Amino acid sequence: MSILEAIVLGVVQGLTEFLPVSSSGHLEIAKAILGGDTVPAESMLMTVILHTATALSTIVIFRKDIMEILKGFFQFKWNDEFKFSLKIIVSMIPAAIIGVAFSDEIENMFDGNLTMVGAMLLITGLLLLLADKAKPSEKSVSFKSALIIGISQAIAIMPGISRSGATISTSVLLGIDRERSARFSFLMVVPLILGKISKDLLSGDVVLAESSFTPMVVGFVAAFITGLFACTWMISLVKKSKLTWFAIYCFVVGAISLGYTLL
């Protein structure tokens, strides 16, 4: 893998992990554009590294929130921080079950299937359009809504369904305040990403080749920096109800992906 390819993949991951356009779908598209033989041997390692970078950028942006949640959780007091941490755990359950039970089937989805990516991007676009037209509300996340949002996150495992798009849209459609929706969406994924990274590393399937060290570092830095920007920007966009432009983008990219595979 060249340094340029690493930068491209890092920027794509950093932007699309937070912007509601599907990071997994765009990584599949990017790999297809770069060529099917340019990444395969390093694909799993690069995926782990890029997700580590975006998880770290989330932790940096929400460091105060995370510290308060952890403090409340370990104090075992029935306060807002403790309840919020339990809601995060509840939201993780559906994706964790799906990830463990269907790990092989999920990995087979990430094999350059641009037809699925295109179709799922169209669904993502529809979700964003519906969410942008939802009436403003001041509701907070309940345990029931946390589970429903968690189910949408589990569905977003499919390449082309935006995780942030699905979870934020579901939250907004449930009547939850837009800023709270974005905050919960970004915080709920951190434990899952860290868990998936640990699983991949412990599996022994991830091997670091000496020749790939520099591109991996460059990809990590690119994903981390763009992740910081995208996370902050996305929170602002959700508050201002500006998801329609991302819906249009998903429709266009989804249609192009379908057209590319069908022609």
Q: What is the pLDDT of residues 141-195, one digit of tens each?
A: 999 999 999 999 999 888 888 888 999 999 999 999 888 888 899 888 888 888 8
The region, left, alpha or beta by phi > 0 then psi within -120 to 50, assigned to residue 76 is left
Helix (H) or strand (E) segment spanning residue 146: helix 143-155
Neighbours of 97 (CB within 10 A): 12
Tell me if 58 sits within 8 A of 186, measured CB to CB.
yes
Cα–Cα distances in Å, from 55 out to 7, 83, 192? 17, 22, 10
Q: Which amino acid is located at 60 in the chain?
A: V
* 220: Cα separation from own chain's centroid: 16
Instruction: Identify the CA nearest to 253 among candidates 6, 15, 10.
Output: 15
Helix (H) or strand (E) segment spanning residue 60: helix 40-61
Q: What is the pLDDT of residues 216-261, one digit of tens each?
A: 899 999 999 999 999 999 888 887 878 888 999 999 999 998 888 8
Q: State which residues form the domain around 250.
A: 3-262
The region, left, alpha or beta by phi > 0 then psi within -120 to 50, assigned to residue 241 is left
As a whole number of angstroms, the distance between CA 231 and CA 225 comes to 10
As a whole number of angstroms, the distance between CA 68 and CA 247 comes to 34
Specify the number of domains making up the chain: 1
Instruction: Give pTM, 2 decimals.
Output: 0.82
pLDDT reading at 39 higher than 50: no
- Which tokens in the block code for residue 52? 């580590």
Quick one: pLDDT at residue 40?
47
